[in-house]
Amino acid sequence: MDYLPICSSIAENLTTFLDTIPYQNQSILQGKAKQEIDHKASEIIDSCLADYPINLYLQGEHPKLNPHANYSIFVDPIDGTSNWLRQVGDPSFVMAIAAKSSDVTLGDLNFAYVRGLRSGDCYYGTQCAAYFRSAHRQDYTQIYCHSQVSLEDAIAYLRPGYHRAKEALSGSFPLWLCCRDIRSVDNSAMELCEIARGAADFMVECRHASENYNLLAYPILKSAGGYLVDFRGNSLASLSLESEYIVDYVACGSGYLLREILHIIQRWEQNHEKTFRNFLGEIERENQVWGSQIA
């Protein structure tokens, strides 16, 4: 299979479809709009891949298994549909491929492709190298995680969204105080790619709310020299992809910075996290009482 042209073609078809949706229609009830867009995106991907001997895994759907499959393809048609509806961030088309048909793990992926549906920026990664093409340039250039900054100079993706601020703060509070810059737009694939090219330094996901399909850009990060680990520093390469489930993680572009982050998180967990979680619970209860009095 010629991976890059296939991914590029699907991304073009998906972009063309999204461009036909009038903006005023995107302001309708978001649950319905999201379902309609995701359904149409799945139809486009099914059609483009119909003739290939593959097992197809689309996020949120039952896998389509082929007894003659030579490859497994994993797709998040729109990583960030809610952001697309709001016209913010950089929702992405994400596709990853493994040259095996069963027992596929994150480390088995030998290709990944990410295209920003608002920016037009593209990334892809093989087992050997990772590449980036800005929407303003024609050619792909190789990218590396060249950042060697300390935590106080780091640009971080720390994510309190979707009513998960309590979990995010409980798991990573000291990092919020130590970083140079904190961002959060909840487009996981694009954020991993930005770490891969050194535009950001690390991301911590500790909300107990992010699915393993949010990590399909892993080959890009890995080939650029980045790390993806759990909170004990263990690689997530053995993470299964054949079903969807929640996973917390740290993604980082520097081994030096990663060690610093893990040290802080582990010390926080051992000495302060329980007390802080109780404190957040007290605030939450007080807000509920205050809210009931206002009502």
pLDDT in tens, 60-93: 899 999 999 999 999 999 998 888 888 888 999 9
Between helix 3-19 and helix 30-49 the angle, nearest 10°, is 140
Cα 95 versus chain centre, distance: 12
> Between the CA atoms of 274, 277, 279 and 284, what dihedral angle is there, to the nearest 10 degrees?
-160
pLDDT greater at residue 119 or residue 290:
119
CATH no. of 151-282: 3.40.190.80
pLDDT greater at residue 34 or residue 155:
155
Is the CATH number 3.40.50.300 carried by domain 3-142? no
User: Tell me, what's the pLDDT at 26?
Assistant: 52
Burial 75-107 (b: 16+ CB within 10 A, else e): bbbbbbbbbbbeeebbbbbbbbbbeebeebbbb
DSSP category for residue 269: H
pLDDT band, very low/low/confident/very high, at 294 (cuts 50, 70, 90): low
Average pLDDT estimate for 34-55: 90
| Separation CA 140–CA 103 (nearest Å) | 32
**Residue 280 scores a pLDDT above 90:** no
**Residue 292 scores a pLDDT above 90:** no
Domain coordinates in residue numbering, the chain = 3-142, 151-282
**Residue 25 scores a pLDDT above 60:** no
Q: Which of 22-26, 32-36, 93-97, 165-169 has the highest mean pLDDT?
A: 93-97
Alpha carbons within 13 A on the beta-carbon side of 42:
16
